[in-house]
Chain A
Amino acid sequence: MKILIVDDSKAMRMIVMRHLRQAGYEDAEFAEAANGIEALAAVAEHDPDLILCDWNMPEMDGHTFLVQLRSSGSQVPFGFVTSESTPDMQATARSAGALFLIAKPFTVETFRETLNSAGVS
């Protein structure tokens, strides 16, 4: 399974990968991008099976990235991992095509339960 992690924080990309490994995705291959622009290129290069993406990022935010991704025809499973999780953002995320939104701070169990509920394996 190829998982693309998109976050402008290198620290957070590392933390998300560690949590995913502990949540049962220890055999996953990971690719990284620091913003939406890099992520669009990474999707073309790596053809990921799952994208986990921050919302607030410089250059291109996660929501804009998701909209452009869906506009291109890609239906790759997509979830936000973000420090903001208001009901408005949840609704905006889902209407743009996200499967879920994980709020920071999170736990390994949060990843396990959310990904299982979303049917990602």
Chain B
Amino acid sequence: MTAVLGISQWRDSMLEATDEVAQSSLMLDAVTVREAPSPLPRDLPGSYIPLVGEDYNYEFGLAAKWEHCEYLAKTLLFMDPGDEISDDDIADAMNELANMVGGGVKKRMAEIDTTLKLGLPAFFNGTVHPTAEQEHVCVIATAGEAEIYLIALKHKAPL
């Protein structure tokens, strides 16, 4: 029960942090949120960043269809929709968005856990697949023209 409550708190922090980044760095309206389907679609590239406490670690991810990753990257980089952008720049921009959201989550959760450390983001092609040993939450945040799957997962605590 505690663990479930815990990951829900992280979910809320991630939503607040994403909304902050969307409005201030992407200059978009406030995000709207809905629950994600289960299982998740298979082809969702995204950037994941670890947030590590003393006795647990979370992975946070911002995943989206490739064309939505491209939209988010171009928006972050002040590019026009028709501009050319490399795959590297899309991954770099998605990593930076994950980094900012991760920092925002850490800031919000620091009142509860002061030991948290934020790692470095990595971009993956494909969808993360939580196993039965991992708790996870996933919601879809619509930011401008992009649907962003916000994913948090952690290993279940030992009994």
Contacts and interface: CB of A to CB of B under 8 A. Distances in A.
A32 to B, nearest CB: 13
Given A9-B99, A84-B106, A14 B77 contact: yes
Contacts of B21: 105
A46 interface: no
A95 interface: no
Q: Could you tell me the dominant secondary structure of chain A's interface residues?
A: loop
B76 A56 contact: no
Interface in B86-115: 89, 92-93, 95-96, 99-100, 102-104, 106-107, 110, 114
Interface of A: 8-12, 14-15, 18, 56-58, 82-86, 88, 103-107
Interface of B: 20-21, 24-25, 73, 76-78, 89, 92-93, 95-96, 99-100, 102-104, 106-107, 110, 114, 118-120
9 closest residue pairs by CB, A with B: A83-B103, A105-B24, A105-B25, A11-B93, A9-B96, A104-B100, A11-B92, A84-B103, A83-B99
